[in-house]
Amino acid sequence: MLTRRLVSAAMDADCVTYARDGDVALIHLDRPERLNAVVPALVDGLLAAFGAASADGVGAVVLAGRGRAFCAGYDLKEPEPRDGLDAARSRVERIQDVTRLMRAFPGAVVAAVHGYALGAGAEFAFGCDLVVATRDAQFGFPEVGVGLSVTGAISRLLPLTVGPARAKELLLLGKRFGAETAREWGLVNRVVPVGEHETVALDLARIAAARPRIALGLAKSALDAGIDATVEGAMLREVDDALRTLAEDESDAAASAFRAGRDG
């Protein structure tokens, strides 16, 4: 039986929805009018949703996006808060907590990606244990081009998967890449026809959730153990880098240029 409830911390802004289908939780980014672009309320909703999944004791989670995209990254149409570096540090660390919760969750977390998965959206997807993507999915890391820095431990996880040379090309040049390329590079597990991503992701999640729970959790933690220490170090560095980009005028200019281009 599918049960649904809103879990956004800002209950007047339904940025994230949570549903339970037996032993699997379904978490949807739910800002379709903005391609599920990241704002603080969406981060709060994700944290609340993964908290709900843990409290419910489900064996797996499917993370997906409503509308035309999985997640288009940070919402650069939103004005940048001017509340000091301490508050900025807190915001960056809070979005990193999404990665921490996904990795700490004792069951499988499966990303169901369609459309755009850019910036923070790509980081959310690649922070999951398994990734299912539609053939038209597009990934990319545009942060440098808009004067920002990466988060979500991608500075460790990406080179670990694709190698340092390719990771530098992706981060420094911001080139987008498709689902088949992502699969060839080891970033995506399944490439499926458009519209089938959630069905396939749910099938994989059900298989994982049916495994003996303790063994499933131990297998996941054992696989992650070899990189977890450096992941935390990477996230600490990412916070410092994010604060530096916020302190520079070039991030404002790049973001303004991005907004002007989108408005045009």
Instruction: Verify whether residue 143 is a known catalytic residue.
Output: yes
Element of type H or E holding 125: helix 120-126
Residue with tokens 């672009």: 37
Query: CA separation (Å) from 235 to 94, 95, 230, 253, 262?
Result: 11, 10, 9, 26, 30
Considering the candidates 143, 196, 198, 250, report the single residue annotated as catalytic: 143
Could you tell me the two tokens for 214? 């303790």
CA separation, residue 29 to residues 22, 112, 140, 205 (Å): 20, 11, 18, 18
Instruction: Supply 165's token pair.
Output: 């040379």
Distance, first Cα to last Cα, the chain = 46
At 148 the three-state DSSP class reads coil
**Residues recognised as catalytic:** 143
